[in-house]
A and B are shown apart, each in its own frame.
Chain A
Amino acid sequence: MKNVYQYAVAAVIVVLLGYFSLSFENLNDVKEQRRRATFNAAQYARDFWDNQLFRVIDQAVEGNELIELFNSNMSEAIQRYGRAPGVSRNYAYLIKGQGAILTINDDFLEISTRESQRHPEIKILTGFYIPGNAVRDASGLIDVSTFSDTMKFNEISGEINKIIVKEVIQPFLDKKPKAGDPLRFLGATRVAQDATEEKELQLIEVVPIRLELDAS
């Protein structure tokens, strides 16, 4: 009897030791964690481009208005329209406009949005690759804090930029635009908060989201 009692207690001890030493996780939960760990930036960018970006492009500011605000009140421009993920002197903006092509270069074209203006105000990037995060940041749709690893956040920009080259810039260039052609654009730009400290800002660089020759 005494032995049975001792064995029972020993068994309880072993069970309790096991309980405190081992942790059990649901296999489906572990699989889900691993799945989340595999990130497909191209797929994310595709979904962003097809299903998310359209929700904010109406917020794009007319190019004339934005440049005037940069030069008259940069703080207000930042407060009203600027976006930045974190702490930065550079803010991204959604911008739109229309105007005539003044010059066409290898990696960009310049346009003037004012009929009487012969100097370009907008430089639209049209090269074979687009650097930077202008569209990602200007949209305000992608939160860096949702990524465990900021490299994923960065990869998204690269994939968005590839879509822009392939689906915006190339089709536009295939139409063989020339100086004097009117066009409409919508895109993103990044401007430093001290860009107007020493002189007026006269030319801003835009990554295109939409680029169309204006048939009218």
Chain B
Amino acid sequence: MARKLLLFPTAILLLILLAFGCKQKGQEHVGDGASKGKKKIAVVISTLNNPWFVVLGNTAKERAEQLGYEATLFDSQNDTAKESDHFENIIAGGYAAILFNPTDADGSIANVKKAKEANVPTFCIDREINANDVAATQILSDNYTGCVELGQYFVKKMNKKGTYVELLGILGDNNTWNRSKGFHSVVDNYPELKMVSQQTAEFDRTKAMEVLESILQANPEIDAVFCGNDAMAMGAYQALAAAGKADEVMVFGFDGAKDVIDSIQEGKIVATGMQFPKKMARMAAEQADEYIKGQRDFPQKVPVAVELVTQENIDKYTAYGRQSEP
């Protein structure tokens, strides 16, 4: 009897809690930013274990602060689950906008959607999500075209023949495949250029060194290594140097990171594709500011051109950009 008496009000209580807990559309207060003082912008970066992404995150944060916001940097550590946690905290924390470097083109969509439903606009930087109706805008490096140009230079430097290795980035990142496909769209037209191995080193310098060391054991006579980012290019160069092959094997990277720019200046690494993390980060912060002030008309995808940096034109470039730009 007592149990039956308890069951009914408990069920009603559960029902009430569920009704308020499930559908939260239309709640306007989330995303209004801090209720007093400065509005807040969150900067969520895929990993701060890579100097290129540190520049991306810090530049976005600095620009947001220059525009009058309180900005906080979040490191997703290449983990989509951690990224989800950040989004939960950001939404609950009343941030006005998110500057976002996704960990996974598909896996990150749900996070951006959650933010959108909470009226927190997301501005993707450098990497895209495979959706064009959830982010406010996506500012992306044109990796494919950048690697078409790199591929053309590669063919020229290889004199249209030879063997090479490709080190891929994170397999769930669209950038990995845009770069690889751009490169192969050129290089695969030359049958005397043979790829002897293609493996992922997950954009990581240490992994790249280990992977290439292993590859060199099976393929000691290679002419070049194409790496999907500069961190891997540095790791590859280290592996080649340890094997006494640094002068014989050409290394190509992609990013425009400081250590590779320095290496190109020193005549070591042959070329890279200069992305412009500072430009992209500033654009994202400025567009977030415009959005908060009422602007809504943003193109969904904004490709930012990548420029080929070689030992011939290195004097025009510095780490993460051009000499002529801040």
Contact = CB atoms under 8 A, between A and B. Distances in A.
Nearest to A14: B11
In the A-B complex, list the 7 residue pairs whose CB atoms are closest, starting with the nearest. A86-B303, A88-B305, A145-B300, A154-B144, A20-B22, A87-B304, A129-B189
Q: Give the most central of B4, B11, B177, B283: most A CB within 10 Å.
A: B11
Contact of A150 (B4, B18, B140, B189): B140
Interface of A: 6, 9-10, 13, 16-17, 20-21, 84-90, 128-129, 131-133, 144-151, 153-154, 158
Interface string B295-319: 0000111111101000000000000
Interface residues of B, number: 41
Interface string B175-187: 0011001100110
A17 to B, nearest CB: 6
B142 A86 contact: yes
Contacts of B151: 131
Interface in B259-316: 279, 283, 299-305, 307
A116 to B, nearest CB: 34
A163 to B, nearest CB: 15
10 contacts: A9-B8, A86-B301, A86-B305, A128-B189, A132-B148, A146-B132, A149-B130, A150-B128, A150-B301, A154-B182
Interface in B106-133: 128, 130-132
Given A17-B18, A149-B128, A150-B144, A89 B181 contact: no
A14 B143 CA distance: 52
B174 interface: yes
- Report whether over half of chain B's contact residues are helix, strand or loop; otherwise say mixed: helix
A6 B7 CA distance: 10
B152 interface: yes
Contacts of B279: 87
Contacts of A145: 132, 299-301
A159 B19 CA distance: 52
B303 A85 contact: yes
A87 B189 contact: no
Contacts of B142: 86, 88
B19 A20 contact: yes
Contacts of B177: 151
A129 B189 CA distance: 7
B242 interface: no
A154 B305 contact: no
Nearest to A84: B305
Contacts of A17: 15, 18
B303 A144 contact: yes
B307 A89 contact: yes
Contacts of B18: 16-17, 20
B36 interface: no
Nearest to A6: B8
A9 B8 CA distance: 8
Contacts of A16: 15, 18-19
B157 to A, nearest CB: 16
A144 to B, nearest CB: 5
A132 B181 CA distance: 12
